[in-house]
Structure 1
C-alpha cells in the first residue's frame, strides 16, 4: 500500500510544469546523432534528459511524450538535493553494480562494453548470448518480461534489487509501470533506442551505458568502431551507381509491411539504394507501414533488389505475383535471416542490429552492388529461390 500512496503523491506532484521541460543548467556534453537524450555536467555529476514519443510498430505515436530527468552521481560525490531543476529527477549512484533490462538490445550493448556480468534481471530466456541465457535458466538472473510485449513484472524487479532499471517502453500503456517502479524506489532510466531517427542514434547509448557503469572509455571505443565501419562502407559505395530497392515483407493475405522512412530508410540510401517506397520523414510515425499487394506490384515491381524477409516473417510463395517482380526474376532477392538460434528462439539481428548499423549497412551494400559480394555477410543473405537459382537455401 505504501508504494501506491507514494505513486499517487508523485503523480499529483507532476501535474504542474515538469522540470524536464526546461534545459538543466550545466556544461553540455555533445552527443551527436541522438534526439532522445542529452547530457550536461556540473558539480561533479551529470544530468541526463531522456524524452521520446512512443511509436507503435507500423503505426503512429500515441499519447504524450515521455520525459524523465536522471541525475548520475558518482558514489564519491555528495548527492545534490533534488530541488530546483532537479525536482522530480531520478537519482542513480554510479558506477552501478546491479542492472535490470527488458530488451535484448540493452543486453547486447552491456556485453559490448564489458558490463553484462552485472545483469540481475532481463526480459526472459530468449537471449542470443549463451552465457546470459544459461544464467537466466539457472535462476541467477530474474525474468521481468520483454518490453515489446508487456510492462515489467514489478515483483520480480523489486526482488532483483537493481541499482538501475534500463527500461524499454514498447507501448505507451507501459509508461505507467515506469512511474510505478520509480515510486517504489527503483531508479529507472528509459531507453528510447527504437525512437531514434538517425541509425547512429541507438549507438550513442553505449556512451550513456558507459557513464552508468564506469566504462565510459569502452563506450566511446564502441561508438568510434561503429562510426568508422559506417564511413568505410559509405566511401566504398560513393562511386558506384545507385540501384532501386524495395524493403517489404509479407504479413498475411494481401498485406505487406514496407520500409518507407526514418533510420531504416536511411540505411538503404547510404548503402547506395533508392527506396522505391520512400515517404516523407515524420518522427511521430514508424519507419514501416502496411501496404496492399497491388501497391507493391505497382510501385515496387521494377525495383532492382528486394529485401523481403526477416528471421520471423512468413514465407511468401505466390509464383504468379513473384513473376511480376523484377528483383525476383533477376535473382536480387535477399533475406535478413542470418544469426538465428532456433532452439533458443533467439535472433542476433533483433539484439545487435540497431547497435551495429555498420554491419547492416555492409550487408545492404553487398546486396545492392554485386561487385561487393566478396564482403562477409552478417545477417542479410541472398535467397537462392529467386531468379534462375536452384534450391531453397541461402547463398552469399
Structure 2
C-alpha cells in the first residue's frame, strides 16, 4: 500500500481534470487557477475544480470535520486545529502524533478506507463537513452523504504543481474553520522562507543534473518538466533531465528511454521508499546499469516515516519551504552546512 501511495504521487496529474478559468474579480482569493473563494454579504463562495459551494453565515466556521485524505490532515495540523477532527479514513496513513493520540483516546473515529467508507457511521456522527479528493467510483457514497444533509467538499490540492499554490490551501482551510489569521501568518512564513531559500540556492557554483522517481513494473513514471518535482529541482538551482518538457503530468517511459537521458546525472531523488541500494537493485536489476546508481547519490522521501505513514505527504503539503530546503541541502550541501534533512533520506 505504501508503494501505491508513492505511485499515486507520481501519476496524480495523469487524471483528467478540466481547469476552471481564472476569475478576474478582485473580490476573489485565488489559490490557483482551479481553486478560488470569496466572502460576500456574510456568505462564503468556493470554486474548486468543477464544483461550486455556497456556505451561509451560520454554516461556517466548521466545528466538526471528517478528513478522507491524510494530506488534508497536514493543513489542519499546521493550524493547530486537530480538535475539530471527529473522523478520518485509513488512520494508519496519518503521521501526526497528536491526531494519532486523539484516535487512541476515541475522540477521532475511523470511518473506513480508500476501499470502502463506513457511510452509516459517518451519517451518525453528523459532521459539519467532509473534506476529500473527488473519486468517481465513490459517487454513490457521496450522494448518500449529501442526501443526509452532510456537506462534502472536494479539493484538488494534490493536483497543484506550483509548490506555494499547494501551500496556499492552508488559507482556504483557515477560512473554513475560523483560523484566517493563523492561516495567513503560516502562508506568509512559508512563502518568505521559500523565496529566501531560492535566492540562497542561486549562490551555488554549479547546477548538477538530476533524475527523479523510479520504475513501477516496466514503466518509469518520470515527472514532466512543469510538475512540482521539476519546480522544486529548478528552485533549488539544479538541472532536471526533463527541464525543457512542458507537461504537468508524469511521463511514462521505458527504462531504455530514461537510460538514454541519464548521462552525467549526479543525483537521483524521490527514489521510492527503499531502505538500501541493495534492496532497490533486488527489485529491479536494471538500476545497476545507471551511472548515477553506481557513482552518484540517491535519495528517497522516507526521512519522516512511521510504519505506513509518511509525513512528506502530510505536513509536506504545507511546508514547501522545508522540501525546498531538503533539495538545496542535497544538491548544494555547502550552502546549508548545519541543516539536517527533514523529509528526504540518502540511500546507502
Category of TM-score, reference length = shorter chain: 0.7 to 0.9
Contact residue 124 and residue 136 of structure 1 kept, 8 A: no
For residues 119-177 of structure 1, what are the alpha-carbon distances to aligned partners after superposition, in whole Å with 9 as ceiling and x for unaligned? 1110132221223223324443222234xx336332121122111111222x3323453
Which residue matches 1:4? none
Give the C-alpha shift of residue 103 in structure 1: 0.9
Give the C-alpha shift of residue 312 in structure 1: 6.4
2:268 to 306, 321, 341: 306
SS at 1:366's partner residue?
Answer: helix
Determine if the alignment matches structure 1 residue 334 to structure 2 residue 291: no
**Gaps in structure 1 of 5+ consecutive residues:** 1-20, 52-66, 76-92, 385-396
Give the C-alpha shift of residue 260 in structure 1: 2.3
Which residue matches 2:101? 134
Determine if the alignment matches structure 1 residue 351 to structure 2 residue 318: no
Contact residue 255 and residue 292 of structure 1 kept, 8 A: yes
Give the C-alpha shift of residue 98 in structure 1: 0.4
Report the Cα distance in structure 1 between the residues aligned to 2:130 and 2:80, rounded to whole angstroms.
Answer: 17
Give the C-alpha shift of residue 211 in structure 1: 0.9
Which residue matches 1:387? none
For residues 340-388 of structure 1, what are the alpha-carbon distances to aligned partners after superposition, in whole Å with 9 as ceiling and x for unaligned? 112xx2211121222211111111111112323522210112223xxxx
Report the Cα distance in structure 1 between the residues aligned to 2:234 and 2:22, rounded to whole angstroms.
Answer: 34
Structure 2 length normalisation: TM-score? 0.83
SS at 2:86's partner residue?
Answer: strand
Q: Cα distance 1:301–1:324, how it changes in 2: closer, same or farther (>3 A)? A: farther
Report the Cα distance in structure 1 between the residues aligned to 2:259 and 2:22, rounded to whole angstroms.
Answer: 48
Contact residue 67 and residue 132 of structure 2 kept, 8 A: yes
Contact residue 25 and residue 40 of structure 1 kept, 8 A: no
Q: Cα distance 1:290–1:25, how it changes in 2: closer, same or farther (>3 A)? A: closer
Greater C-alpha Rg: 1
Which residue matches 1:41? 39
1:150 to 112, 115, 119: 115
Report the Cα distance in structure 1 between the residues aligned to 2:212 and 2:133, rounded to whole angstroms.
Answer: 26
Which residue matches 2:29? 30
Contact residue 246 and residue 307 of structure 1 kept, 8 A: yes
Report the Cα distance in structure 2 between the residues aligned to 1:201 and 1:365, rounded to whole angstroms.
Answer: 20
Report the Cα distance in structure 2 between the residues aligned to 1:186 and 1:300, rounded to whole angstroms.
Answer: 51
Query: Which 10-residue stretch deviates more, 96-105 or 365-374?
Result: 365-374
Report the Cα distance in structure 1 between the residues aligned to 2:252 and 2:162, rounded to whole angstroms.
Answer: 22
* Larger RCO (CA under 8 A, 6+ residues apart): 2
**Whose helix fraction is larger, Structure 1's or Structure 2's?**
2
Report the Cα distance in structure 1 between the residues aligned to 2:285 and 2:51, rounded to whole angstroms.
Answer: 52
Considering only aligned residues, what root-mean-square deviation do their CA atoms show, in Å?
Answer: 2.8
Determine if the alignment matches structure 1 residue 245 to structure 2 residue 210: yes
Which residue matches 1:99? 65
Contact residue 268 and residue 296 of structure 2 kept, 8 A: no
Determine if the alignment matches structure 1 residue 187 to structure 2 residue 151: yes
State the aligned residue count. Answer: 323
Report the Cα distance in structure 2 between the residues aligned to 1:125 and 1:116, rounded to whole angstroms.
Answer: 14
For residues 102-133 of structure 1, what are the alpha-carbon distances to aligned partners after superposition, in whole Å with 9 as ceiling and x for unaligned? 11121121111121101111013222122322
**Gaps in structure 2 of 5+ consecutive residues:** 1-19
